[in-house]
Amino acid sequence: MKNLELIAYAKQNALSGKNLDRASIIQLLGIPPDSPECEKLGKAARKVSSAITGDQAYLSGSIGVDFAPCSMSCEYCSMGKKWGIVQKTTQYTDEQVMEWANQYVAAGARRITLRTTEFYSPEVLGVLTAQIKKSVPGEYEVGLNMGEFDLETANRLYEYGVDYIYHTVRLGEGKNTRFTVEERLKTIQAVLDSPLQLHFCVEPIGVEHSDEEIADRIMMTIDYCATGAGCMARVPVKGTPLGALPQISERRMAQIAAVLRLAKCTGDISVHPPCELAVEWGCNSLTIEVGANPRDPEYCPDSEWKHFTAQRAKTWFQKHGYQFSNTLECRNKCVNP
Ligand code: SF4
């Protein structure tokens, strides 16, 4: 099929409630980002987004709890111990975490993610989650982006009040990280076997990744029926082994998000770092973040990363035809067998 025919087919396929096949995903990813064909791809993804989400958009708030040297030393992360960028541990107090959770919820965030380095205690995060749920009023979910864990821990986290886990198999896993794919999959399976929801992103996407590698992660997103799905660019951090490789362009980012939207026929699609063109092309979920950040050599405890605020996210959503949602109605309905 020619590219324009494939775009029309992919759009129709998603609208009829079907996920896309790997070969088609690879072909769509191969369309030059600056081409008129890519504009058509983006417009098709936006139409599909309307049908799937009812033009409801969502905001998430991420809180990087600890800024600390992490012995896993992933080759793109500012906190990798080996790179010597972060020398000492700094972390939010429980009160500060609560304060940010409060601010996020008041600003309309419906998901609050607590993010930590690999070996942060799940027990401490469980207690913190319970505290947030008790003291921050509003309709929202709390999720964790933390290290590896088993089913017993997953069940315990759910009992504490955790709603979802962000976990994924990174691009370049085992090559640019000290994790094996199997270790990541074990944790993902623990989430799937528990009552927790899984959030999964294609990340961290860099110029070093082929269309095939990206397509394989899109296929994983579909196969695991992730409630929250999205794509994230690798942000080059000076001083890390991958720090000299440039970030992918905004158009490439928006293209990958559009392909993900067409490939996965259910649920919300997020993009990070925030990218307005990706919203124009079908993303309906954005994240604001504070505190420790693997994408930044500096700790940002007092203001939103890159000054991307809830207000800015809402402006983008409105500009591109989305209603900013105050509920969590747009649920992923898995269509896989
Ligand atoms: S990405 Fe996570 S696991 Fe890897 S070094 Fe950074 S904090 Fe540690």
The 10 Å CB-count burial string (b at 16+, else e) for 113-137 is bbbbbbebebeebbebbebbbeebe
Nearest-CA residue for ligand 1 atom 7 is 117
CATH architecture of the domain formed by 3-324: Alpha-Beta Barrel (3.20)
Residues of the chain with pLDDT > 90, as a percent, come to 92
**Digit-coded pLDDT (tens) for 178-210:** 999 999 999 999 999 999 999 999 999 999 999
pLDDT above 60 for 83: yes
Q: What is the pLDDT of residue 265?
A: 87
Residues with CB under 6 A from ligand 1: 70, 72-74, 77, 79-80, 117-118, 294
Atom of ligand 1 nearest to the CA of 116: 7
Q: What is the pLDDT of residue 330?
A: 54
> What is the rounded distance in angstroms from the CA atom of residue 204 to the CA atom of residue 108?
27
pTM above 0.75, yes or no: yes
Contact 225, 19 (CB under 8 A): no
pLDDT above 70 for 336: no
Nearest to 118 by CA among 84, 87, 155, 77: 77
The mean of the pLDDT values for the chain is 95
Mutate to test the pocket of ligand 1, among 62, 70, 114 (most ligand atoms within 8 A of CB): 70
> What is the rounded distance in angstroms from the CA atom of residue 115 to the CA atom of residue 292?
8
Nearest to 213 by CA among 69, 87, 25, 3: 25
Q: Give the pLDDT band of residue 337 (cuts 50, 70, 90).
A: very low
Every domain of the chain and the residues it spans:
3-324
Q: Give the pLDDT band of residue 331 (cuts 50, 70, 90).
A: low
* Ligand 1 centroid distance, CA of 292 (Å): 11
